[in-house]
Structure 1
């Protein structure tokens, strides 16, 4: 597939096509309050960190969102090149989004770039496009003067094993030494290093009625409920009328 890669900063007229591109996210993922507050701001406030790919017909078939943020403390920042080299937060995806926009509000200089999402349209999946977008994201961070990209990765096959601890799954390898998980494997092949698990990377707390609407499941039994697309079970509290999903991700560092 011949592709044209651009950033929204270069082609702001493509904003609508990028943000309206079809995806395959589970519905409940769209209701993380931190994501709801900040994800949509990336395309308008940080267009230079939104990359997208068009096919021969001019249709947007993939996009990659990232954000610059302050990872290291002031005393740890390098003077000549932005390189966070700091402790990666346990709250992963949520924490990065909150830090990125709080930093913009307070004028805190960013020292690294975090991947936020790489999404391939359903009709274009299976052709290695996610790896190409990851490579483009790495190149884009380097072009903006950063020394590393970090990524709170949502392993693509973990939903098939919701009861397996992420601390076990993240470090499982094949006979060739590469990660068992396909999406983690793409990151490692690109030069990333799996560092640790972000145990509370995303949190979705909602009423039982909302969970029933999102999943079609009854949510009438206390305890852990396995939900299609969820990386771990959802904790259900019928007597209190709510259920909570706390998603672990896997931190990967890419030194550029």
Structure 2
């Protein structure tokens, strides 16, 4: 695949097409209020931190650009906050900090990865690793010394009952992480630093959870939901369910 990877600032005409890829995010993930309110603002306000990949072979055949992968990142003032470690709040926290810093004119010192998504038709071809490398290169070119990433381990949903602290540090015989997406980060030079136990929170009524998942949500306690990294906590008598997703912090020194 002949990939062309650029920033959205360089190719603003792709601001619409980058949303048209065939994705497989679980429906409930799209209802995280922080992501729902801020993900589009990355495209609007920080296009130089949005990477888009097009398949040049396909473009030559069809005469138009089609996005096969996208990568979102945000700059933020992380070290100046005096935090001793990366936040337990993870994905939600860095998005909130980044846009607070942008609003208040704070000078950023770190770039955080937010998302790398590859079109279903382009998977299995090493595209995600190339997008991660491009994200690192983009941050380096803008004068940053590190990229941090609240990584969503992409095979954790297969064993939601496994404690995330155990899963995050599980390795293969060759010493690389058991999880495929963590493995890509470590191969690229990243170091697993800690678990973000409350990286993303999705809450909703039991009626909403039924709509999102097709499950009954009529029994109190943990409910294993397809695509969820950990069980959703259900309170049917009170009419709500809450999902608190853990991610894994990986630090990339540039």
Provide TM-score, normalisation by structure 1. 0.95
Secondary structure of the equivalent of 1:178? coil
Q: Which residue of 1 aligns with 2:68?
A: 61
* 1:71 corresponds to 2:69: no
Rounded to whole Å, the distance in 1 between the matches of 2:225 and 2:197 is: 18
1:72 Cα deviation after fit: 1.1
Rounded to whole Å, the distance in 2 between the matches of 1:4 and 1:86 is: 38
Q: Which residue of 2 aligns with 1:102?
A: 100
* Displacement over 6 Å in runs of 4+: none
* 1:38 corresponds to 2:45: no
1:73 Cα deviation after fit: 2.3
Rounded to whole Å, the distance in 2 between the matches of 1:191 and 1:180 is: 16
1:21 Cα deviation after fit: 2.3
Runs (5+) with no aligned partner, structure 2? 60-64
Q: Which residue of 2 aligns with 1:6?
A: 6
Contact 1:153 1:251 (C-alpha < 8 Å) held by counterparts:
yes
* 1:182 corresponds to 2:162: no
Secondary structure of the equivalent of 1:110? coil
Provide TM-score, normalisation by structure 2. 0.95
Secondary structure of the equivalent of 1:73? helix
* 1:254 corresponds to 2:252: yes
1:23 Cα deviation after fit: 1.4
For residue 170 of structure 2, the aligned residue among 154, 169, 172 is 172
The one-character-per-residue Cα deviations of 1:41-63 (angstroms, maximum 9, x if unpaired) are: 00110000000110122311000
Rounded to whole Å, the distance in 1 between the matches of 2:130 and 2:168 is: 22
| Counterpart mapping for 1:223-242 below 5 A | 223-242=221-240
Number of matched residues? 247
The root-mean-square deviation of aligned C-alpha atoms, in Å, is 1.1
1:86 Cα deviation after fit: 5.3
Contact 1:42 1:65 (C-alpha < 8 Å) held by counterparts:
yes
For residue 117 of structure 1, the aligned residue among 115, 118, 121 is 115
Query: Residue 124 and residue 235 in structure 1: after superposition, are their counterparts in 2 closer, same or farther (change >3 A)?
Result: same
Rounded to whole Å, the distance in 2 between the matches of 1:72 and 1:60 is: 34
For residue 219 of structure 1, the aligned residue among 217, 220, 233 is 217
